[in-house]
Structure 1
């Protein structure tokens, strides 16, 4: 359901403003948003993304279901040729339900996490698809996040990330015991969400939960 925009001049969207008002922090959060939310990538963000071996992506499929997924590659598979564009050299994966929301013009959310330094930066924007092997994201918002709750890890590939492995797609309306155990043992989650804004279209986000 579209959410009515409460303050067109605010850096926050309507849903965020409602939460802030409910929490009694509306006035405090306005200057924070104006300071950290940008319509472009800072140089330090442009230098950050190409160092990563993976990026987490949030999309929404045709039925309105949000999906969080990962695209990986050797450092350098992400490039920021200018402050308004993040290029992702990763082939389409037809087995991934999130792929349904990565077509040209689709809204998308991304979070990059360096598991060694615990740095993370996020953005949302719009897919610019030139081929099935790569796509770009036109920046809508770009911002940094604190390292809180990020689990420190060493990262290495167990196979060539450029080699796609097909997997069986299992659709179910419930979790089995193995899946429940996997979730209960996890110390990190990535959550995709979205909001439909009156007159502004859809904004997709993906966030880290540790």
Structure 2
């Protein structure tokens, strides 16, 4: 059973949840090489979520996009990415040098996603990533959307230490966000979180909470948080291409008191914001209205 792919934090999270055996079974999906079918999938993609740490050790998640073909498997273990973050993005300068990265290629129109972790090096106009882990995830909680590109240039970034009224409203109605975390050694993972609009609770200008639903028992995100609380979140305004990036720390509440008030929650995650970066029209992509996943648990009804 290929449990050696997990580090101590992931195994601890699996034990807490009573899913150590299931996690071992799921580990069989993790490969080092890109399967042939995955090469075809990557060549069709128009967006990639990437997580990395900045020069201060803070974790961020960013969005890279381009026409089909901007992601290309150069060989079984190397991914070429013909894109960089928008000017002013917290990771733009960091990716100008070698860095551990976690990546998620997600195709909202088909609810397919593929995770890749490895080491990136800069090349002209993009990145080359030597892959160490490659695996697909199930379609749960992905809202179906159709993309179309626009040519609008990114606006000026706005940085702050707390959420603005617009950002609070955007997060309060979000049905999707992306989360980047890192383990004790600095290896990074990027993942997807989805639910019905309102599943992210904005508790204040600097604190968020969200439910953690049933997954694949790998516990890559929560396992990283067991050994390193640093995390980065990425929210998209799907109609304008604006991105809101948050960095801070996250803590998993494994008790049933908090989870019991949220339908479908196995546990909850509390996130404390230390910095915010908003980039208007950071993405060239605009998206259709969502068709919500049938797996999304209902939200609690107001009392």
Tell me whether the two structures share a fold, i.e. TM-score over 0.5: yes
Q: Is the 8 A contact 1:101 1:108 kept in 2?
A: no
Following superposition, the deviation at residue 74 of structure 1 comes to 0.7
- Find 1:196's aligned residue among 165, 175, 184: 184
Following superposition, the deviation at residue 92 of structure 1 comes to 5.5
Structure 1 outlier segments of 4+, above 6 Å? none
Distance 2:3 2:112 in 1: 30
Tell me whether 1:19 sits opposite 2:13 in the alignment.
yes
Change over 3 Å in CA distance of 1:92–1:113 after alignment to 2 = closer
Following superposition, the deviation at residue 14 of structure 1 comes to 1.5
Q: Which has the higher strand share?
A: 2
- Which residue of 2 is the match for residue 5 of structure 1? none
- Which residue of 2 is the match for residue 158 of structure 1? 150
- Which residue of 1 is the match for residue 101 of structure 2? 108
- Which residue of 1 is the match for residue 140 of structure 2? 148
Following superposition, the deviation at residue 68 of structure 1 comes to 1.0
Distance 1:150 1:92 in 2: 23
Indicate the RMSD between aligned Cα atoms, in angstroms.
Answer: 1.8
Tell me whether 1:179 sits opposite 2:167 in the alignment.
yes
Change over 3 Å in CA distance of 1:130–1:158 after alignment to 2 = closer
Distance 2:36 2:106 in 1: 17
Tell me whether 1:209 sits opposite 2:197 in the alignment.
no
Aligned residues: 193
- Find 2:64's aligned residue among 68, 71, 91: 71
Distance 1:98 1:187 in 2: 24
- Which residue of 2 is the match for residue 60 of structure 1? 53
Following superposition, the deviation at residue 37 of structure 1 comes to 0.9
Deviates more, 1:84-93 or 1:184-193: 84-93
- Which residue of 1 is the match for residue 34 of structure 2? 41
Instruction: List runs of 5+ in structure 2 lacking aligned partners.
Output: 195-303
Q: Is the 8 A contact 1:95 1:167 kept in 2?
A: no
Tell me whether 1:82 sits opposite 2:75 in the alignment.
yes
Give secondary structure in 2 for the equivalent of 1:99.
coil
Distance 2:49 2:100 in 1: 14
TM-score under structure 1 normalisation?
Answer: 0.86
- Which residue of 2 is the match for residue 10 of structure 1? 4
Distance 2:22 2:146 in 1: 37
